[in-house]
Amino acid sequence: MRIIKYFLFSFFAFSFSSPVLSSEITVNKISSYQQANLPKNGTYDGFIVYFKDDFNNADKKKPTTEKTAAQKISSIKNIVIERKISTGGYLIKSTLKNSQEAENKRIFNLLRKNPEVILVEPNLIFRATVLPDNDPGFSNLWGLKNTAYGVNAVTAWDSGYSGTGITVAVIDTGIINHPDLNANVLPGYDFISDAVDARDGNGRDADPSDEGDWTTSWFECGFFYPPSDSSWHGSHVAGTIAMVDNTIGGVGVAPDAKILPIRVLGKCGGTTIDITEGMLWAAGLSVNGITNNPNPAQIINMSLGGPGSCSFTEQSAINSVIAKGAVVIVAAGNENSDASGYSPSSCDKVLSVAALDENGNRASFSNYGNTVDLSAPGTSIYSTIDSGSTTPQGPTYGNYEGTSMATPNVAGVAALLLSKEPTLTPQEVMDHLISSAKPIAGTCSGGCGAGLVDAGLALGSGDGSVLFSDSFE
C-alpha cells in the first residue's frame, strides 16, 4: 500500500465552434480580467485572445472568424492562430520552437496593445506535485463514517440512497482498469491535445485511460519541476466518489453513482483549454470535432488548483456548465494559504472544499479563507490506484492526502443528495450541502467554510450523532 501526500495546481481553457458566452458579459467586464504581466516561462502554452467585436454587441459587428482574427493581428510576427476555443477566444502560439521568455513577453505585450483585442490570457498549465508521507497508522475509510470527523455516508446508505442515477465527471488524469471501479465507469474522453504529454501516441481521442504521469528529470516539462512517479490521481479521486460496493477493497461515498472520466492531465500537466473543454463536454455541451457526450454529468469534480485569481476563460466555462445543470466542486488548494489567491477556488459559483485531518482539524497543508465553502476528510484517504511507478501494472490501493482528496468526498455526498432529489439545481445542491454542514470537531484557523459536509444531514436522514460500524465491504 502506498501512502502519498498529493498536491495539485491548475489552469484552464477550451475550444469549440460555437462560443459559450454569457449574455451578462460586457466589454468592461471582460477587460477587467486583463493581467499586467506574464507568469514564469514554462507555466503556460500559448495565449488565449479575445477580440472586441465578439463582445461589443451594441455596435452589431460580425463575430470574428479565424480568417478575420488573423487579419486583426497580422502585424505581429512569429505567431499563428491554432483554433477558436469554446469560450469565444482564440489559441495563439509562437511559431518559434522553444520560444524564450523575452519572445513570449513581446507577443503578449503586442497583443495587449492591439486595438482590436480586449483580453489576452496565458494558456496556463496544470502541474502536480507528489510528496511522501510515512505515517503508517492511517486507518481505511475513516472519512466515510458517522463520527465527528467523517461525512456520515452510512446514514444516507441506510436511508436507501447510494448515488443511483447520478453521473460524476472527474476532470483529472484519466482512469485505470480496476475491479473496484470498472462497473461504475462510463465511456469518457481524453482531452489532452499534446501527444507527447498524453503518452498514447496521439492527441485527443475517446480513450481516457491513464497512461501514467511520471517524470524523470527536473527539466523534463520545460521548467523546474521535480521528477515523480505516476500518481494515478484521477482513479484515486474516482474511487473516493464511487468505488463499487463489493467484496474487495473499499467502497465509495456514492457506490452506485457513475464516473465519467475526463482525461486532461498528462505527463507535463494540462492546459487551460484542455481542462475547460473537458468540463464543457462533460456537462453535455458541444466541443468542436468531438461527438457530444451521451451521458452528461450532474456533478463535476475538479481536484486541481493553482496560484492566481480566476481567469475569464475559466469563469466562462464554469458559468456555461452550471447553466447546463452541473454543480462544480473544486479543491481549495494545498498551500496553507488564503484560497482567494488560488484558482479555481476563487471562481464564482463553485463549491470550494478544504481538507480536515482525522481529528477534525484543518489539515496542515489545506488552504482556507472566505472563498472556502465546506470541509471534508482529506488525509489518509484510501482509494483505488495502479501499482506501477510509471506505466500501468495492475490494480491496488493507496492512501493519499490533499484537498484533492477532500473534494471527491463532497462530490460523493452531492451524488447521494441528487439520488434522493434529482431535480435540484446546482445552486440548490450547494445550498443544501452548506446549510446542513456540521461544526468541525477540531480547529480551523483562517476559516473552513460552513463546516464538515454530512450526508445524513444533507439528506435529512439523520442527526449525525450515531456511530456506525467500522467494517465495509
d(CA 270, CA 9): 10
Residue given cell 452531492 in the structure block: 414
Average pLDDT over residues 115-125: 90
Please report, to the nearest 10 degrees, the dihedral formed by the alpha carbons of residues 297, 194, 288, 73 taken in order. Answer: 130
Instruction: Report pTM.
Output: 0.89
Dist CA 11 CA 46 (whole Å): 13
3-state DSSP call for residue 386? Answer: strand
Nearest to 146 by CA among 383, 381, 453, 473: 453
Average pLDDT, integer, range 381-396:
96
Q: How far apart are CA 163 and CA 159, in angstroms?
A: 12
305 contacts 405 by C-beta, under 8 angstroms: no
For 12-51, where are the alpha helices, taking DSSP H only?
A: 27-31
For the chain, residues classed under CATH 3.30.70 are 27-124
H or E element that contains 349: none
Query: What Cα–Cα distance (Å) separates residue 208 from each residue in 82, 141, 173, 368, 473?
Result: 23, 27, 8, 32, 28
pLDDT at 219: 81
Q: How confident is the model at residue 443 (pLDDT cuts 50, 70, 90)?
A: very high
CA distance 80 to 59: 28
State residue 365's pLDDT score: 95
Cα–Cα distance, 334 to 402 (Å, whole number): 6
Instruction: Kindly report the average pLDDT of the chain as a whole number.
Output: 86
Give 365's strand partners. Answer: none
pLDDT in the model for residue 23:
43
> Distance between CA 282 and CA 277 in Å, rounded?
8
Stretch 111-133: mean pLDDT, rounded? 75
What span, in angstroms and rounded, lies between the C-alpha atoms of 126 and 274?
10
> Is the per-residue pLDDT at 471 higher than 70?
no
Give the C-alpha separation, 255 to 402, whole Å.
Answer: 22
* Fold classified for 27-124: Alpha-Beta Plaits (3.30.70)
At which residue does the C-alpha cell 496521439 appear?
Answer: 202
User: How is residue 409 written as a grid cell?
Assistant: 468526498
The pLDDT tens digits of the residues spanning 216-275 come to 988 888 766 788 899 999 999 999 999 999 888 899 999 999 999 999 999 988 899 999
**From 193, 366, 375, 404, active-site residue:** 404
Residues 105-122, mean pLDDT to the nearest whole number: 93
What gap in Å lies between CA 262 and CA 174, rounded to an integer?
6
pLDDT tens, 128-155?
533 333 323 335 788 888 788 999 998 9
- Among the listed residues 178, 233, 236, 432, the single catalytic one is 233
- pLDDT(81) > 60: yes
Top-confidence residue, 203 or 209 = 209
Question: Of 183, 178, 185, 176, nearest to 211 (Cα)?
Answer: 176
pLDDT band (50, 70, 90) for residue 1:
very low
- Is the per-residue pLDDT at 462 higher than 60? no
Average pLDDT for residues 52-59, to the nearest whole number?
Answer: 71
- Per the CB < 8 A criterion, the answer to whether 284 and 292 are in contact is yes
User: Which ranges in the chain are annotated with CATH 3.40.50.200?
Assistant: 2-9+128-458
pLDDT for residue 223: 64
CATH numeric code, 2-9+128-458: 3.40.50.200
User: Considering 53, 172, 190, 210, which one is annotated as catalytic?
Assistant: 172
Taking only the tens place, the pLDDT of each residue in 401-424 is 999 999 999 999 999 999 999 999
Residue with the bigger pLDDT between 147 and 455: it is 455
| Region 105-125 average pLDDT | 92
Phi/psi at 434 (5° precision) = -70, -45
Do residues 366 and 403 lie in contact, with contact meaning Cβ atoms separated by under 8 Å?
yes
Does the pLDDT value for residue 464 go beyond 80? no
Q: Would you call 251 helix, strand, or coil by DSSP?
A: coil
- Residue 446 binned pLDDT confidence (cut-offs 50, 70, 90): very high
Contact between 157 and 473 (Cβ < 8 Å): no
Q: At what angle are helices 272-282 and 312-324 packed, to 10 degrees? A: 10
Query: How many angstroms separate the Cα of 123 from the Cα of each of 11, 47, 143?
Result: 7, 5, 36
Least confident of 71-80, 123-132, 453-462: 123-132
Task: Tell me what pLDDT residue 426 has.
Answer: 98
DSSP structure string for 90-119? EEEEESSTT--HHHHHHHHHHHHH-TTEEE
Clarify whether 172 is annotated catalytic: yes
Confidence bin at 466 (pLDDT 50/70/90): very low
Which burial class, exposed, middle or buried, applies to 202 when counting CB atoms under 10 A from its CB (0-12, 13-18, 19+)? exposed
Handedness of CA 156, 283, 315, 333 (dihedral sign): positive
CB neighbour class for 286 (10 Å; exposed up to 12, middle 13-18, buried from 19)? middle
- pLDDT tens-digit readout, 298-324: 999 999 987 788 999 999 999 999 999
Q: In whole angstroms, what is the distance from residue 205 CA to residue 224 CA?
A: 30
User: Who contacts 469 (Cβ-Cβ below 8 Å, separation ≥6)?
Assistant: 154
- Kindly report which listed range (16-20, 369-373, 394-398, 468-472) carries the lowest average pLDDT score: 468-472
* Buried residues in 115-127 as b, exposed as e (16+ CB within 10 A): eebbbbbbbbbbb
